[in-house]
Amino acid sequence: MNFPIPKQDRSAFVGELQRYVDKSRRDGSLLGVMLIHLHRVVELNTSFGYKVGDRLLAIVRDRIGKILRPNDSIERIGDHDFVLVLPSPKNVGHASLAANRIVNVLEEPLEIDGNAIKASVAIGIALFPEHAQEADALLRLADVALAGAIQSNSPIKICAEVPDKGTLSSFIIESELRHALMNDEFILYYQPKIDLATRQVCGAEALSRWNNPARGLVPPDVFIPVAEQTNLMLPFTLWSLNLAARQFGEFNRLSKNFSVAVNLSATVLYDPDVVDLINRTIKIWSIRPEQLVLEVTESAMMVDPKTSLETLNRFHDLGVMLSIDDFGTGYSSLAYVKKMPVNELKIDKSFVMNMDKDKGDAMIVRTVIDMAHNFEIAVTAEGVESQLILEQLAELGCDCAQGFYLAKPMPAANLIDWLQVSPWARQTGMRSVTG
Ligand code: C2E
Ligand code: CA
Ligand code: CA
């Protein structure tokens, strides 16, 4: 058995599929396309290393191979998916039967390095000519069906009918996101955070971007809400945590006492595995726990205050730092915050941006800083766009600042340069100051 199994490029595969479609059209026969998604490969890779993920894929392919007919063809496409082409199925039922056999053959746990691992799959099926007449659309509809299977937690979904335009676009963006995650299209930008007492950088917040080949850089406000509706948010967060933790090593080498902050969505906060996954991440990348900041919004915490308190306590026990993001936009109950093991409040930028002109905003900022300090919670102001506001915040005793005036979010490589040349980063770890 060979592994890692070579990955077929999606556009090359579409070309190959088109040849099958053309032949089926000539022969007047049906053609089935089945996308088989292997769950938990990201988690397995994170927990046990890429080799285990690769071996799992190889064993799964081998098992599926044993039940295929001679003319069926199976390819790996992306990191966690296989695509199976079924020439001349008699009808939809025939394709569905094949999918059932695949699910059954994977029931038996697989053995990898003495560990019994249960491979769990989701399958999406689309048929020529019933669902689409061309390869590209056929594959996309198999993707839509697969997204539906994953979303509804069912192992198999057939593209029963052509969805209307509205549903299609929402499905497409979800399947696009899944595709983007598998194809490494997401990147992390970092925005530095400045300690107002020393006027020196003390960390950075990781902010994701989607580098979409067709649309360019897509901001998180567009794709995070879609990801939150799907079960992609946990693998996405694992990806961002691991990348931030890895890149952190280089930032920390250049800047003493650096911390890196990652945003956690509500869906991730309530995942039963999240504490263990974060614990594993800091161990794998040898980060001191206090150098990782988890940013959670107040509204995420309020979805289920009892459970979030339990989770935040477990994070606190790990020693990671906890920050309440967008403070002031939700319940803003400092009495409630007092009960949480919170290290930092981030005052929402909507109050900070106008505090030089709006007395009410300035008053809110002042009150939050004073009350947080009474509870020994540090305060970061986000959205600092001018020197005037920076000085106002320093005057009010605010601990840290983040905003376009100091630095815009930037790719990791630019942050590495910035840490070596910016006046906000003079006391760096590696560089003895020479001028
Ligand atoms: P956020 O966590 O409140 O992040 C701060 C946002 O304010 C960032 O927008 C940042 O670029 C922007 N910002 C920073 N300084 C200034 C300033 O001086 N003026 C103005 N007008 N804006 C400033 P961005 O990067 O577009 O991120 C938007 C939101 O998307 C974030 O808000 C966060 O809630 C979410 N987000 C980003 N990356 C991730 C992620 O990896 N996971 C999760 N769960 N959420 C993310
Ligand atoms: Ca944030
Ligand atoms: Ca914020």
What number is the average pLDDT over the span 59-75? 91
Q: Verify whether ligand 1 is closer than 6 Å to residue 265 (CB atom).
A: yes
In a domain, 1, yes or no: no
User: In 3-state terms, what secondary structure has residue 191?
Assistant: strand
The pLDDT, as a whole number, for residue 160 is 65
Q: What is the pLDDT of residues 192-225, one digit of tens each?
A: 999 999 999 999 999 999 998 877 888 898 888 7
The pLDDT, as a whole number, for residue 201 is 97
Q: Verify whether ligand 1 is closer than 6 Å to residue 404 (CB atom).
A: yes
Atom number of ligand 1 nearest to Cα 233: 44
The Cα-based distances of 342 to 90, 264, 300, 339 in angstroms read 61, 14, 14, 8
**142 and 260 within one domain:** no
> CB count, 10 Å around CB of 185?
16
Q: Verify whether ligand 1 is closer than 6 Å to residue 403 (CB atom).
A: yes
Q: Which residue has the tokens 């002109």?
A: 357
Q: Please tell me the pTM assigned to this model.
A: 0.66
The pLDDT, as a whole number, for residue 39 is 86
Pocket test for ligand 1, best of 187, 191, 194, 207 (most atoms within 8 A of CB): 207
**298 and 149 within one domain:** no
Domain extent, residue 131, equals 10-158
Q: Atom 41 (ligand 1): residue with closest C-alpha?
A: 208
Q: Quote the ligand 1 centre to 207 CA distance (angstroms).
A: 6
Q: Verify whether ligand 1 is closer than 6 Å to residue 240 (CB atom).
A: yes
Q: Quote the ligand 3 centre to 353 CA distance (angstroms).
A: 12
Structure tokens belonging to residue 255: 């800047």
Q: Verify whether ligand 1 is closer than 6 Å to residue 228 (CB atom).
A: no
Q: How confident is the model at residue 134 (pLDDT cuts 50, 70, 90)?
A: confident
In a domain, 5, yes or no: no
**In this predicted structure, which of 18-22, 70-74, 381-385 has the lowest mean pLDDT?**
70-74
Q: Verify whether ligand 1 is closer than 6 Å to residue 350 (CB atom).
A: no
Which residues lie closer than 8 Å to 413 by C-beta, 6 or more apart?
none
The pLDDT, as a whole number, for residue 95 is 85
Q: What is the pLDDT of residues 339-362, one digit of tens each?
A: 899 999 999 999 999 999 999 999
**204 and 66 within one domain:** no
User: In 3-state terms, what secondary structure has residue 304?
Assistant: coil
Say which ligand is closest to the CA of 406.
1
Checking if the pLDDT of 166 tops 50, the result is no
**336 and 196 within one domain:** yes
Q: What is the pLDDT of residues 241-293, one digit of tens each?
A: 999 999 999 999 999 889 999 999 988 999 999 999 999 999 999 999 999 99
In a domain, 163, yes or no: no
* Residue 12 exposed, middle or buried by CB count within 10 Å (0-12, 13-18, 19+): exposed
Say which ligand is closest to the CA of 327.
3
Q: Atom 21 (ligand 1): residue with closest C-alpha?
A: 383
Instruction: Determine the Cα–Cα distance for residues 227 and 268; give it in Å rounded to an integer.
Output: 11
What number is the average pLDDT over the span 410-414? 97
The pLDDT, as a whole number, for residue 427 is 60
Q: Find out whether 124 and 147 touch, Cβ atoms under 8 Å.
A: yes
Q: Write the single-letter amino acid at 298.
A: E
Q: What does DSSP assign to residue 295?
A: E
Beta strand pairing call for 344-347 and 200-212:
unpaired
Say which ligand is closest to the CA of 221.
1
Q: Which residue has the tokens 């890895």?
A: 246
**201 and 119 within one domain:** no
In a domain, 149, yes or no: yes
Q: What is the CATH number of the domain that holds 242?
A: 3.20.20.450
The pLDDT, as a whole number, for residue 130 is 84
Instruction: Determine the Cα–Cα distance for residues 302 and 61; give it in Å rounded to an integer.
Output: 44
Which residues lie closer than 8 Å to 397 by C-beta, 6 or more apart?
369, 370, 373
Atom number of ligand 1 nearest to Cα 265: 44
Q: Verify whether ligand 1 is closer than 6 Å to residue 191 (CB atom).
A: yes
**220 and 331 within one domain:** yes
Instruction: Determine the Cα–Cα distance for residues 131 and 129; give it in Å rounded to an integer.
Output: 6
Q: Find out whether 36 and 81 touch, Cβ atoms under 8 Å.
A: yes
Q: Quote the ligand 1 centre to 290 CA distance (angstroms).
A: 22
Beta strand pairing call for 156-158 and 121-128:
parallel
In a domain, 3, yes or no: no
Last residue within a domain, chosen from 117, 132, 158: 158
Instruction: Determine the Cα–Cα distance for residues 299 and 39; give it in Å rounded to an integer.
Output: 29
Instruction: Determine the Cα–Cα distance for residues 363 and 344; give it in Å rounded to an integer.
Output: 19
The pLDDT, as a whole number, for residue 336 is 75
**In this predicted structure, which of 161-170, 309-318, 402-411 has the lowest mean pLDDT?**
161-170
> CB count, 10 Å around CB of 398?
25
Q: What is the pLDDT of residues 75-104, one digit of tens each?
A: 998 878 899 999 988 877 788 888 988 988
Q: Quote the ligand 3 centre to 189 CA distance (angstroms).
A: 15
The pLDDT, as a whole number, for residue 205 is 98
Q: What is the CATH number of the domain that holds 98?
A: 3.30.70.270
Mean pLDDT, the chain, whole residue set: 88
Q: How confident is the model at residue 133 (pLDDT cuts 50, 70, 90)?
A: confident
**131 and 205 within one domain:** no
**100 and 217 within one domain:** no
Instruction: Determine the Cα–Cα distance for residues 282 and 290; give it in Å rounded to an integer.
Output: 10
Atom number of ligand 1 nearest to Cα 297: 34
Last residue within a domain, chosen from 93, 125, 158: 158
H-helix or E-strand spanning residue 147: helix 135-151
Q: Atom 14 (ligand 1): residue with closest C-alpha?
A: 403
**143 and 51 within one domain:** yes
Q: How confident is the model at residue 416 (pLDDT cuts 50, 70, 90)?
A: very high
Q: Find out whether 329 and 298 touch, Cβ atoms under 8 Å.
A: yes
The pLDDT, as a whole number, for residue 230 is 79
Q: Quote the ligand 1 centre to 165 CA distance (angstroms).
A: 31
CA 179 to chain centre: 12
Q: Verify whether ligand 1 is closer than 6 Å to residue 297 (CB atom).
A: no
In a domain, 433, yes or no: no
**203 and 313 within one domain:** yes
Q: Quote the ligand 3 centre to 360 CA distance (angstroms).
A: 20
Strand partners, 112: 115
Say which ligand is closest to the CA of 241.
1
Q: Find out whether 382 and 346 touch, Cβ atoms under 8 Å.
A: yes
Q: How many domains does the chain have?
A: 2
What number is the average pLDDT over the span 136-155? 86
**In this predicted structure, which of 15-24, 147-156, 264-273, 317-326 has the lowest mean pLDDT?**
147-156
Checking if the pLDDT of 2 tops 50, the result is no
Residue by residue, DSSP assigns 332-377 as --HHHHHHS---EEEE-HHHHTTTTT-HHHHHHHHHHHHHHHHTT-
Q: Find out whether 258 and 204 touch, Cβ atoms under 8 Å.
A: yes
Pocket test for ligand 1, best of 326, 327, 356, 382 (most atoms within 8 A of CB): 382
Say which ligand is closest to the CA of 223.
1
The pLDDT, as a whole number, for residue 8 is 74
**293 and 378 within one domain:** yes
Checking if the pLDDT of 430 tops 90, the result is no
Which residues lie closer than 8 Å to 17 by C-beta, 6 or more apart?
33, 85, 135, 138, 139
Q: Write the single-letter amino acid at 410.
A: M
Checking if the pLDDT of 46 tops 80, the result is no
